[in-house]
Homo-oligomer: A and B are copies of this chain.
Amino acid sequence: MRYSYLGPAGTFTEAALLQMPGAETAERVPAASVLSALAMVQDDEADVAVVPIENSVEGGVTATLDAVSVAHNLHITAETLVPITFVLASADPMPMEQVRSIATHSHGWAQVRRWAEATVPHAEFVPASSTAAAAHGLTRDPAIADAAVCAPLVAAQLGLHVLAREIEDVPGAVTRFVMAAKPGPVPVMTGADKTTVMIPLPEDHPGGLMEILEHFATNGVNICRIESRPTGFGMGDYFFSMDLEGHIAEARIADALAGIHRISPRIRFLGSYPRADNKSQQVGPEVSEAAFTSAQRWIESLRG
């Protein structure tokens, strides 16, 4: 297996990749951007791309994934959660009070700013293109900064000296990462699954979101993420990117999506895959497989 991921080496994205079974020994190829990581799969330079979703400190955004998945016809095959925790690391041991400049990505800086103001108030922020790049910078050129705010992984990989751990202002944050691959067999249902779809707003239905949601409501499907996005083909055209609780193998997901396909035929299925949080799906009796089967039999009996 060859994995592409949002690099450089040592990012939270590589940490996410390393959580996958067998990843330790797999080929891992850093990419300069989410787009590049995904394009490598499209171009057969990798089998699976690992990219961040939501809240990322490294700038990966759902929008990118949406656009690329559709353009390149990639499916999501897995997701994983990585605790976002930062260390302050330097190339060589040094007293904290001597730290005068700190390199990191601006998003990372934002997440440790209160800690930094309280602990190293005189340190200047030096922007880097990623938290991992900041760490690599320390080893390449001592002039860049005294220390870096980065992931524990890259500090370990580079043998940096850790001056402080868990310096994030809001502890407990996690970032979600997904694996994207060319379409193949859908991962088997586990009972704790998600399904990701893109649904263009029906052209002539201004109140179309409500209409879409009714299909989920009548089939007992919970939405765990929803985002509207401009399609990029002119103002006023939107699609919705959504994660649903459930698997395409379930009648309730299949019926909801079939109903939406009727009002928005350009709907895109981007994958059914196990949930990272492993939270078992609670399904009411009225949307159980048995209820769907029983209803179908009743209709057939009426039609004779």
Contact = CB atoms under 8 A, between A and B. Distances in A.
A32 B209 contact: no
Interface stretch (A17-25, A89-97, A261-269): A261-269
Interface in A99-122: 105-107, 109-110, 113
A54 interface: yes
A128 interface: yes
Name the residue in A109, A217, A262, A296 with the highest tally of chain B Cβ atoms < 10 Å from its Cβ: A262
A156 interface: no
Interface of A: 32-36, 54-55, 59, 61, 63-64, 105-107, 109-110, 113, 125, 127-130, 133, 170, 172-173, 185-186, 202, 206-207, 209-211, 213-215, 217-219, 222-230, 232, 234-235, 238, 240, 248-249, 254-255, 257-259, 261-263, 265, 269, 277, 286-287, 291-292, 294-296, 298-299, 302-304
Nearest to A223: B209
B106 A32 contact: yes
Name the residue in A32, A107, A302 with the highest tally of chain B Cβ atoms < 10 Å from its Cβ: A302
A61 B56 CA distance: 10
15 contacts: A32-B106, A33-B106, A33-B110, A36-B110, A127-B130, A127-B133, A128-B129, A170-B232, A185-B304, A209-B213, A209-B226, A214-B214, A226-B226, A258-B295, A262-B291
